[in-house]
Amino acid sequence: MGILNCTPDSFFPGGRAESLATAVNQAREMIRSGADILDIGGESSRPGSDPVSLHIELERVLPVVQEVRAFSEIPISVDTRKSEVARRAVLVGADIINDISALNEDPEKAEVAAEHGAALVLMHMRGTPATMQDSPFYQDAVGEILNELQPAIELARKAGVPDNAIILDPGIGFAKRLEDNISVLREIPRLRASGFPILIGHSRKSFLGALLADKHGKARPVEGRLAASLAVTLYAASHGAEILRVHDVAETVDALRVGLSLSSPGESDR
C-alpha cells in the first residue's frame, strides 16, 4: 500500500503531494514501482496534528481519486475519519475506507462501506492525533488492541460489512510507546489469529528513529529511516501481515522480492 499524502504537513516531507499534478505523478510512479494499493489522504495524523475542515479535505482528496481512477484500476484507499469524505470518495472510485479512528469519531463510515461494497480498515488508536501520545500505557498491547477494536468490528458487521471486507490495523505509532510498537510487531501472528487481514503502517515512523538513536540519544531523522522501514517490512511480511503501508514503494517491492525468494522457492517472480 503506497502512501499518497495530499497534505502540506505530513511527518515525512518526501511523501507530501501539495498539488494535484504532484499527487498524480507520485501515484503513477508508485504504480510503476509495483504498489498493489494506493492510500490517499487529505488530513495529517502525525502526533499533535489538528483536524482539517470537511471542505479542505474534500478539495485535497477527491480530484486525486478521480484522476487516478481515470488511468488505473488499482485499488484506491481513502484515509479519512469523515463519513462524507468516504462517501464522496467511493462514489468517484475509491475501494477501501481507511479509518484511523476505528469508527469512534464517525460510525456512519460503516454504513458507507456496506452500501457501496467498500472494504473497511479499522485502526487502533486511543484519543486523537492531537492527544494520542499523552502517556499511553499497556500491560498487554496486542490483547488490549484486539479488545478495543472489537466494538468497531461488531458495529461494522451490524451495518452490513462482511468479515472478508474488514481489515485490522494495530496502529503502530498511534498512542503507543516504543516498547508497545515492538511488542505489536513481535505478535503479528497473534493479531492474525483474529481471522482478519492485518495492515501494518510502520514506514519511517518515530519508533524507528528511537531505535536508531545515536550514542547521545538523538533520534535518527525521518530521512534516515528507510533501511529500518525495510527491515520491519520483511519481518512483518514473514510473520503474517497482508498489507504493508509504506512511503517507499520501489524499495519495498525490491526488498520483498528478494526476501520472498529466499524464504519460499519460486516466489521471486511475484
Q: N- to C-terminal Cα distance for the chain?
A: 16
Q: State the catalytic residue, choosing from 87, 176, 205, 220.
A: 205
228, 260, 262 from 267: Cα distances, Å: 23, 6, 8
The per-residue pLDDT for range 173-222, each reduced to its tens digit, is 999 999 999 999 999 999 999 999 999 999 999 999 999 999 999 999 99
pLDDT of residue 270: 46
Q: Please say if 245 is a catalytic residue.
A: yes
Q: Please say if 88 is a catalytic residue.
A: no
In this predicted structure, the answer to whether residue 269 has a pLDDT above a threshold of 60 is no
CA 53 to chain centre: 21
In this predicted structure, the answer to whether residue 167 has a pLDDT above a threshold of 80 is yes
Q: What is the pTM of this model?
A: 0.91
Domain ranges in the chain are: 1-92
Contact 65, 94 (CB under 8 A): yes
pLDDT of residue 45: 74
Q: How far apart are the C-alpha atoms of 158 and 180, rounded to whole Å?
A: 31
pLDDT of residue 7: 81
Q: How far apart are the C-alpha atoms of 186 and 179, rounded to whole Å?
A: 10
82, 113, 149, 159 from 103: Cα distances, Å: 9, 11, 10, 12
Percent of all residues in the chain with a pLDDT value above 90, rounded to a whole number: 82
- Who has greater pLDDT, 50 or 265? 50
The per-residue pLDDT for range 118-146, each reduced to its tens digit, is 999 999 998 877 777 777 899 999 999 99
Would you place residue 12 in the very low, low, confident or very high pLDDT band (cuts 50, 70, 90)?
low
- Who has greater pLDDT, 96 or 13? 96
